Amino acid sequence: MILLLLLSLSADFEQQIAPILIEHCLPCHNGSNAQGSLRLSTHARASKAIVPGSPKKSTLFTSVESGTMPPAGRLSRDQRELIRSWIADGAKWPDGVTLEGLKASQAEHDSVARLHDRIVAALKKDDFKPYKFTNPAFEMVPIPEGDFLMGTPDRKDESPQHKVHISPFWMGKFEVTWDEYRLFMFSKDDGVDAVTRPTRPYVEMSFGMGIEGYPAISMTQHAANKYAEWLSAHTGQFYRLPTEAEWEYACRAGTTAAPDHPDDYAWYLANSNGKYQKAGTKKPNAWGLYDMLGNVMEWTLDQYEPYRSAPAADPWIRPSKPYPIAVRGGSWMDPAGAIRCGARTPSDPSWKQQDPQMPKSIWYETDAQGLGFRLVRPLKIPSAEGMFKYWNNGVEKDP
């Protein structure tokens, strides 16, 4: 008990530090061929790189702070700060804990690897054209490769504007509807066993606003990720949530001009009549996407973080903490000012405040009745490990 208290006062090893080490360090610093003969899998081995109480004397911290490690890219400021504070507070590592034991179960990785192989094997030289799928019914629209200016001048959370390059992908023509999402929630005999499914919702999740043809709402980002994994297994094609940059690029659709009056293309506070509306009943944007703005706001893959000014190519800030995650597009509840391609909404713990239990559900945001998502399908298929990262945010549990 005492140990637990000490740990929790600083960074929590199992919840916060171990996941960083597992993801960013262990791929090279583990096993008998560990780089620099440094292994980070157990306390004894890792001690070589850690001086408890002195982050600046610990190569674990100095190398990630300077950015020399990990080679694939510098850790986020939060992740670096977690490591610093953990070492500063004595680098407590619970007795007997080895990091292998904390990895996501090998079975999950294996299952994603098999799915990856199936997707690659099924790959046809698809024309980069619009297409439809029938069960579940959805349509995808090709979004061409290109560059755009991400952000909005003079708005604090949307500045600085910066240049972003985006690789080609298909995007859902409509927001994912209950018709599609409920197949994932309720159908157990569809040949997809390996993907975890939502717990049965206790209350009726459309809250009387309509099901057939209406957008699905009130799911967590974790649930949306699992839907993407389920759909990928179901179709043999790789689907995932869009990054924040992909979403904004697709929303702007090659234009910089102010769009028409929001009444023409969006359901929002002034015209929604207090509820969401059927998908695709307003005008599409220039690239044929419906309801990008309004109706339901949409999950992206990114942690909600300040923008940097440097140009970027296909940027993605993978979440390292449960809140806030970036949500886009505004919803039927929002005023016109929030119905903009540049506008960002941070996810918030209050979206689960109706859940009386602790720990809270990892599947439902019962109080976010204007929150949904749509999926993308990148033209270039990632590695199996890449797929795993897209589908597992690692921060699905609320603190």
Partner 1 sequence: MEDRRRFLKSTGIALAAGALLKGQNSNAIKVGLVGCGGRGTGAAAQALKADDYAALTALADISQDRIDQCIDQISKTQAAKVKVDPKNQFLGLDAYQKLIDSGVDVVLLATPPGFRPVHLRACIDANKHVFCEKPIAVDAPGVRHVLETAKMAKQKNLSLVAGFCWRYSNYIVETFDQIHGGALGDLVAYYATYYTSPVKPMPPASDRPAGMSDVEWQIKNWYNFLWVCGDSIVEQAVHSADKIAWAMHDQPAVSCVGVGGRQIPAEGGNIYDHFEVNYVYPNNFRAFLGCRQIDNCWNENADYILGSKGACTIGRGPMPHITGQTEWTFTGTKNDMYQHEHDVLFASIRQNKPIADGERMATSTLLAMMGRMAAYTGQEITWEQALNSQERIFPDKLDWNGSLAVPAMPRPGQTKFL
Which residues are at the interface with partner 1 (CB under 8 A)?
1, 4-5, 8-9, 12, 15, 186, 200-204, 207-209, 274-275, 333, 350, 353, 356-359, 367, 369-370, 399
73 versus 274: smaller Cβ distance to partner 1 = 274
Sign of CA dihedral 106, 111, 115, 117: positive
Smallest separation (angstroms) from partner 1 to the CB of 8: 4
Measured from the CB atom, the residue of 11 and 341 that comes closer to partner 1 is 11
Nearer to partner 1, 30 or 272 (CB): 272
Q: Is 30 exposed, middle or buried (0-12, 13-18, 19+ CB in 10 A)?
A: buried
CB of 334 within 8 A of CB of 294?
yes
C-alpha dist (Å) from residue 377 to 22, 153, 318: 28, 30, 18
- Between the two ends of the chain, the Cα-to-Cα distance in Å is 18
User: What is the secondary structure of 17-28 as a DSSP string?
Assistant: IHHHIIIIITTT
From residue 205, alpha-carbon distances to 1, 43, 114, 163, 359 in Å are 39, 45, 33, 39, 20
Q: Minimum distance from CB of 378 to partner 1 (Å)?
A: 34
What is the SS3 assignment for 345? strand
Closest separation between CB of residue 359 and partner 1, Å?
A: 6
Position 71, amino acid:
P
Q: How far is the CB of 336 from partner 1 (least distance, A)?
A: 16
Q: Which is nearer to partner 1, 162 or 275 (CB)?
A: 275
User: Cβ closer to partner 1: 54 or 350?
Assistant: 350
Least distance from partner 1 to the Cβ atom of residue 389, Å: 24
Q: Cβ 396 to partner 1, closest distance in Å?
A: 14
Count CA within 13 A, CB hemisphere, residue 380.
9
CB closer to partner 1 out of 198 and 342? 198
